[in-house]
């Protein structure tokens, strides 16, 4: 069977499975629609949370980023997993005890204020919408690559599929579909990694393979990798940090807090039956996430090694001189997978010094000794550009794996993008129908009409997301950082103070959310342009790029969160304390006894 | 009951504090601040600091959450506030 037919078969079968599950798990009531009736067992909920969490970015881009960044890429690994410790201990069990459907509802009730709830809705919508645009773009790319349709067509197909199972199945349908999607995506990630680890180190477990010696040599894979990348003018793989140590520290913190504050992740903990289940469910989620996240560094390092070995086989295997004239392969003799990816434009070759061989090195190196060697060898700049996003997708081809593995990776990439898109749509739909329509505009709405409003707002959100996916407003790259920044600087501190400080009042919480959000947006917009419109940046006004102690805008969420806490406590000190019944409510939220199934009553 | 709920909350906060210290030490400590020092030690083929940043901290996070769930269950029962 040829590759294209195999891919159709794998992707088609996985879609049939998702839709079948959605039909089986149709939602009848608002409680089933928003919170799956509070009946999902912790292990399954953990799996669904993992699929919800791991987006196209985790699946497709992360290993490529780590591959380029080396040690510094660990900030994604630690940041996106460490947040679950915060979520499990500081938020999830208490929000489950509180027993309502949505994050804005908690903020509105705890801070006895419709305005606080509306501020939370705004934060939630901004974070979720920016995040979803990236997912739809990812769906488009994956479809066009693997199904041979245009990117637009890919987005339309993706919209139709998500619509089918999200609108009819609600949270219940989404949850069980995500369980299936998790199984597809994790198999698609790990199977090629096992093959590659076996080829390079003889150890089938990628997590151990990364720490093993290379087959056919007596040095460890990482030591070898350090040596060959340094020879090519890159920083040492195992020690190069992301910017300064301070920046890496703050960046990791931002991702952790942002993870714990993202509404579509928090919402998952409303679907378990008890407070104790909410605690263990976060642990299971992290187990399932860790399967991918501990494999990713192995995929990253091995892909880098494979790439360099492809270009300079002798240097890696026989320690020949990397600067010798015949050490790089001839362009005409490059392997087939390079030819295939050249067609997509994501891998490019330009013979700058005209010798017909591929020189791949860091031509921006500041190391004088290296620059002298490169010049002596007649190198005129790096001739190969490799887009980081192709690392995971091209991995099975680089390792010459069979067609069914490539088809599996295609189905996995789509599962990752679709599951996250569905979770985000759910968060958006519940915020609009439950917190805005029922909470603010029409408190007397019947359950049936509220359900209808939820489905309509989900349909609208899909169309908006699809439109923005088709016409990305030029800020696709900045959006994920913004989603995390907003969640970290506004929602996380507000929820946490709502639980851990009995005396925090509405004035403090609102001032905190708004100032945290404002500071973060200010810093991000200064670098990336006002609302990401190119040319409206005002980076000089704040004293140049990364002016705040060298911290990059992506890493600024943690600073925003600090501002949020500080302002909230300052304002809280000078305004009057919350009413008696609210303080009692906080006490009740803190203890597990008396937890009941979630409902939406205001 | 008032004392009981105060006792429960301070036991909870005590547990959270302990876990957060370990959480901080493995990721921000061993994975970032002390990584250069720890890289001198090797774990299999891994430099130790690099291992904490790319592998070890994640395993510790998982253990922390399950330990937390287990220990909270005990505290719940000790102060008689557990779910039925």
Q: Could you tell me if A386 and A420 lie in one domain?
A: no
Query: Region A22-43: what's the mean pLDDT?
Result: 73
CB contact under 8 A, B61 and A249: no
Do A316 and A263 share a domain, yes or no? no
Interior angle at CA A443, CA A437 and CA A444, nearest 5: 120
**A279: nearest CA partner in chain B:** B69
Rounded Cα gap, residues A463 and A471, in angstroms: 12
A544 Cβ neighbours under 8 A, 6+ residues apart: none
Write out pLDDT tens, residues A72-90.
888 999 999 999 999 999 9
- Tens-place pLDDT, residues A425-477: 888 888 888 777 777 777 787 878 888 888 888 888 888 888 877 766 544 44
Domain with A20, as residue range(s), is 3-304+398-590
pLDDT, position B39? 85
Asked whether residue A200 falls in the same domain as residue A311, the answer is no
* B1 pLDDT more than 50: no
What pLDDT band is residue A18 in, cutting at 50, 70 and 90? confident
Nearest CA in chain B to A285: B62
Of all residues in chain B, the one with the smallest CA distance to A595 is: B83
Same domain, A455 and A581: yes
A333 and A464 share a domain?
A: no
User: What does the DSSP 8-state code read for residue A386?
Assistant: E
Say yes or no: A324 and A338 in one domain: yes
Same domain, A202 and A349: no
Closest partner CB to A238 (pick from B5, B39, B62): B39
For β-strands B46-47 and A384-386, DSSP reports them as: unpaired
State the pLDDT at residue A488. Answer: 92
Q: Tell me if A350 is assigned to some domain.
A: yes
Minimum CA–CA partner of B17 in chain A: A89
* Chain B hits for A89, Cβ within 8 Å: 16, 19-20, 65, 68
| Judgement on whether residues A583 and A469 belong to the same structural domain of the protein | yes
State how many domains chain A has: 2
> In the prediction, which pLDDT does A427 show?
83
Query: How far is Cα of residue A113 from the mean position of the Cα atoms in its chain?
Result: 32
CA distance B42 to chain A (A): 10
Which pLDDT value is given to residue A473? 53
Selecting from A238, A294, A595 the residue whose C-beta is nearest the C-beta of B47 gives A238
- The backbone torsions φ and ψ at residue A181, rounded to the nearest 5 degrees and listed phi first, read -65, -35
pLDDT-derived band at A170, boundaries 50, 70, 90? confident
Using DSSP's 3-state secondary structure scheme, residue A349 falls into strand
Q: What is the pLDDT of residue A598?
A: 65
Tell which residue, A163, A253, A164, A206, has the closest CA to residue A560: A253
Kindly provide the ipTM of the predicted complex, given to two decimals.
0.94
Instruction: Answer yes or no: is A456 within a domain.
Output: yes
CA distance A7 to chain B (A): 32
Of A75, A280, A595, the CB nearest to B69: A280
**Helices A492-500 and A557-574 meet at what angle, rounded to 10?**
40
Q: Single out the residue of A82, A168, A254, A143 nearest to residue B57, CA to CA.
A: A82
**How many beta-carbon pairs under 8 angstroms link A with B?**
140
Segment A276-300 mean pLDDT: 92
Residue A128 has pLDDT above 80, yes or no: yes
Q: Which of A38, A63, A73, A78 to mutate to test the interface with B (most CBs of B within 10 A)?
A: A78
Going A227 to A228 to A233 to A237, the CA torsion angle's sign is negative
- Rounded to the nearest angstrom, the minimum Cα separation between A8 and chain B is 35
Q: Cβ of B45 and A297 within 8 Å?
A: no
Mean pLDDT across A150-178? 79
Q: How many CB atoms lie within 10 A of CB A536?
A: 12
Cα of B51 to nearest chain A Cα, Å:
9
CA distance A501 to A268: 24
The DSSP 8-state label assigned to residue A61 in this structure reads I
Of A89, A274, A283, the CB nearest to B62: A283
Compute the CA torsion angle A260, A261, A264, A265 (nearest 10 deg).
Answer: 10
A383 plus A424 within the same structural domain = no
Structural domain contains residue A599: no
Site of tokens 């991702």? A255
Indicate the average pLDDT of chain A: 83
Q: Choose the closest CB to B32 out of A66, A207, A248.
A: A248
Please report whether residue A514 resides in a domain. Answer: yes
Domain identity same for A344 and A408 = no
- The answer to whether the Cβ–Cβ distance between A84 and B61 falls below 8 Å is yes
Last residue of a domain, one of A340, A370, A397: A397
By DSSP bridging, strand B42-43 and strand A384-386 are unpaired
| Residue A602 belongs to a domain | no
- Identify whether A597 is part of a domain: no
Of A66, A71, A82, the CB nearest to B57: A82
What CATH number does the domain containing A492 carry? 1.20.1730.10
Residue B19: list chain A partners with CB under 8 A. Answer: 85, 89
Residue A581, pLDDT above cutoff 80: yes
Disruptive mutation site among A85, A246, A289 for chain B (greatest number of B CBs within 10 Å): A85
Tokens coding A50: 């993992």
Q: A562 with A515: CB under 8 angstroms? A: no
Q: Where among A397, A425, A449 does a domain terminate?
A: A397
Question: Which of A375, A397, A419 is a domain's end point?
Answer: A397
Q: What is the mean pLDDT of residues B60-83?
A: 92
Q: How many residues does chain A have?
A: 602
Same-domain status, A212 and A167:
yes
Write out chain B residues lying below 8 Å of A222, CB-based: 45-47, 50
Dihedral in degrees, nearest 10, Cα atoms A278, A271, A83, A71: 110
Contact B50 A71 (CB under 8 A): yes
d(CA A592, CA B76): 8
Nearest by CB: A249 against B32, B64, B66: B32
In DSSP notation, A568-585 reads HHHHHHHSPPPPHHHHHH
Q: What pLDDT shows up at residue A153?
A: 82
The helices-and-strands tally (H runs, E runs) of chain A is: 26, 2
CA distance A266 to chain B (A): 16
Is residue A505 domain-shared with residue A485, that is, in the same domain?
yes
């Amino acid at each position: 069977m040829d590759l294209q037919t195999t891919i159709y078969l794998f992707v088609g079968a996985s879609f049939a499975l998702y839709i079948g599950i959605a039909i089986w798990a149709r939602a009848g009531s608002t409680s089933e629609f928003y919170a799956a009736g509070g009946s999902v067992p912790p292990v399954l909920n953990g799996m669904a949370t993992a699929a919800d969490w791991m987006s196209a970015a985790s699946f497709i881009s992360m290993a490529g980023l780590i591959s380029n960044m080396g040690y510094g890429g660990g900030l994604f690994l630690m940041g996106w997993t460490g947040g679950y410790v915060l979520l499990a201990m500081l938020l999830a069990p208490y929000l489950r005890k509180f027993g309502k459907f949505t994050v804005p509802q908690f903020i509105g009730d705890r801070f006895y204020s419709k305005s606080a709830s509306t501020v939370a809705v705004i934060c939630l919508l901004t974070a979720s919408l920016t995040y979803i645009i990236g997912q739809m773009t990812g769906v488009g790319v994956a479809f066009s690559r693997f199904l041979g349709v245009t990117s637009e067509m890919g987005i339309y197909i993706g919209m139709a599929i998500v619509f089918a199972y999200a609108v009819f199945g609600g949270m219940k349908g989404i949850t069980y579909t995500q369980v299936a999607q998790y199984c597809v995506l994790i198999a698609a990630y790990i199977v090629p990694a096992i093959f590659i680890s076996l080829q390079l180190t003889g150890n089938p477990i990628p997590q151990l393979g990364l720490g093993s010696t290379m087959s056919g040599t007596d040095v460890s894979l990482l030591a070898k990798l350090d040596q060959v990348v340094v020879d090519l003018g890159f920083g040492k793989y195992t020690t190069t940090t992301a910017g300064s140590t301070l920046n890496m520290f703050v960046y990791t913190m931002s991702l952790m807090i942002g993870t714990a504050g993202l509404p579509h992740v928090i919402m998952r903990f409303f679907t378990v039956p008890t407070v104790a289940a909410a605690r263990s469910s976060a642990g299971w989620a992290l187990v399932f996430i860790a399967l991918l996240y501990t494999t990713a560094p192995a995929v990253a390092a091995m892909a880098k090694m494979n790439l360099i070995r492809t270009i300079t086989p002798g240097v890696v295997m026989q320690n020949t001189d990397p600067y010798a004239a015949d050490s790089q392969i001839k362009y005409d003799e490059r392997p087939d997978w390079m030819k295939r990816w050249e067609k997509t434009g994501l891998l490019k070759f330009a013979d700058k010094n005209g010798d017909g061989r591929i020189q791949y090195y860091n031509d921006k190196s500041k190391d004088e000794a290296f620059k002298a060697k490169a010049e002596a060898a007649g190198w005129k700049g790096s001739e190969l550009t490799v887009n980081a996003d192709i690392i995971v997708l091209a991995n099975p081809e680089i390792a010459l794996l069979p067609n069914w593995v490539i088809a599996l990776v295609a189905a996995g990439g789509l599962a990752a993008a679709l599951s996250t898109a569905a979770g985000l749509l759910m968060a958006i739909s519940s915020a609009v129908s439950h917190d805005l329509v029922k909470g603010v505009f029409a408190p007397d709405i019947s359950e049936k009409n509220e359900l209808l409003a939820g489905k309509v707002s989900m349909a609208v959100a899909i169309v908006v997301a699809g439109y923005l996916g088709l016409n990305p407003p030029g800020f696709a790259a900045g959006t994920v950082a913004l989603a995390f920044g907003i969640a970290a600087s506004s929602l996380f501190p507000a929820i946490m103070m709502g639980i851990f400080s009995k005396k925090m009042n509405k004035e403090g919480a609102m001032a905190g959310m708004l100032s945290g959000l404002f500071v973060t947006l200010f810093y991000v917009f200064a670098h990336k342009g006002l609302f990401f419109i190119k040319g409206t940046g005002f980076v000089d006004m704040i004293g140049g790029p990364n002016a705040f102690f060298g911290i990059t805008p992506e890493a600024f969420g943690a600073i925003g969160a600090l501002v949020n806490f500080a302002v909230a406590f300052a304002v809280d000190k000078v305004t009057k304390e919350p009413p008696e019944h609210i303080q009692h409510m906080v006490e009740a939220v803190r203890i597990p006894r008396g937890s009941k199934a979630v409902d939406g009553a205001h | 009951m008032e004392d009981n709920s105060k006792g429960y909350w301070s036991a909870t906060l005590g547990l959270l504090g302990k876990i957060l210290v370990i959480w901080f030490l493995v990721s921000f400590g061993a994975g970032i601040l002390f990584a250069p020092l720890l890289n001198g030690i090797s774990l299999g083929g891994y430099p130790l600091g690099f291992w904490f940043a790319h592998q070890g901290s994640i395993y510790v996070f998982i253990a922390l959450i399950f330990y937390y769930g287990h220990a909270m269950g005990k505290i719940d029962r000790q102060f008689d506030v557990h779910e039925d």
